[in-house]
Amino acid sequence: MNETNRGIEFLHTTQMGLGAWQWGDRLQWGYGHGYGEADVHAVFQAAVEQNIHFVDTAEAYGNGLSERLLGNYLKGSKPTIRVATKFFPWPWRLSRDSIPAALKASLRRLKLEQVDLYQIHWPSPLLSLHMLTEGLAKCVEMGSARSVGVSNFGTTKMLQAHASLAQRDIPLASNQVHYSLLNRNVEKNGMLARCDELGIRLIAYSPLEMGLLTGKYSPENPPPGPRRLQYGLRLPKIAPLIKLMYEIGQEHGGKTSAQVALNWVICKGALPIPGAKKPAQILENAGGRGWKLSDEEVHRLNEMSDQINPTED
């Protein structure tokens, strides 16, 4: 097995990762208000203690701060932590060379020689798919990325990226997309099945629907910041799903709604990467692994999700 395939094998044996968008992001998550550097460091340490050894960051998170913080934490960490980061296709990045150049800057912030997974954060209207995959291939060939993936790619673009990389003998390791009990597009449009067929790991972002699936938010207690507007109309509808998640959790010795939500993603064959602001959150989320919802429970959750969410985003 070559180095690239080893990177991919790791993705397929990992059940849960940790998202690091919260580390340094003020706009969406309010970094510096109610939580800060000491908290995210404690989140990292708690994740490592819980054997969560895969962290997803991006150059865009906190304008590089997320990568910098992770780089600091990696230095003192004993087990090998697998690191995924992302290239953001800013409109001034117009050549394939901008991809290895951006990765070089990420590696400096991360204080690493190589990342385990380098992803294109979003498809670009300016860089062709061919340019994007050429840039990714260069990262692998230079030894700066062990494996490469995409994010927010629809099925057609994902298949094109897969085919284009295959010509260079490089597998498309992953597609990181929105997937939760409140957003099942990738399941319904066939992308998850295509990923399974082709050995592409579907990495599920926002698996807790940005906190909604923990059950702590309601119309009376909406989430702070932009999420209030983003989810204002959906909040009144989710109570029956939260109730069902609670009931099912009770049948598994008191698993919480967050743990049921994450286990549901795992049962579907995807890799959830929940974000956390405080160590207690990641400790709870870690309990979403190590057990399994029954097929009948997954079915009940699907049905309830369909009832409250008949039209997808």
Ligand X SMILES: NC(=O)c1ccc[n+]([C@@H]2O[C@H](COP(=O)([O-])OP(=O)(O)OC[C@H]3O[C@@H](n4cnc5c(N)ncnc54)[C@H](OP(=O)(O)O)[C@@H]3O)[C@@H](O)[C@H]2O)c1
Give least dist CB 42 to ligand X, A: 14
Complex with ligand X: residue 143 or 224, whichever CB lies closer: 224
DSSP state of 172: E
Residue 160 CB, shortest distance to ligand X, in Å, is 19
Q: Which residues of 216-247 are buried (b: 16+ CB within 10 A; e: fewer)?
A: ebeeeeebeeebeeebeeebeebeebbebbee
Shortest approach of ligand X to residue 202 CB, angstroms?
A: 12
Active site residues: 61
Where on the chain is the footprint of ligand X (CB under 6 A)?
19-22, 29, 56, 121, 151-152, 176, 205-211, 214, 216, 223, 258, 273-277, 281, 284-285
Phi and psi at residue 155, in whole multiples of 5°?
Answer: -60, -45
**Residues 6+ away with beta carbon under 8 Å from 64:** 105, 109
Beta-bridge mates of residue 118: 85, 148
Under a CB-based contact definition with an 8 Å cutoff, are residues 263 and 291 in contact?
Answer: yes
Of the pair 34, 167, the CB lying nearest ligand X is at 34
48 vs 210 by CB, closer to ligand X: 210
In the bound complex, what is the minimum distance in angstroms from residue 119's beta carbon to ligand X?
Answer: 7
281 and 43 in contact (C-beta within 8 Å)? yes
Alpha-helical runs (H) found in the chain: 3-13, 37-49, 65-75, 98-110, 129-141, 155-166, 185-188, 191-198, 226-231, 239-250, 257-267, 279-286, 295-308
Query: How far apart are the C-alpha atoms of 239 and 52, rounded to whole Å?
Result: 30
- The residue at minimum Cβ distance from ligand X is 19
Q: Which is nearer to ligand X, 21 or 73 (CB)?
A: 21
Please say which residue, 126 or 142, places its beta carbon nearer to ligand X. Answer: 126
The least CB distance from residue 123 to ligand X, in Å, is 11
Query: How many CB atoms are closer than 10 A to CB 164?
Result: 19
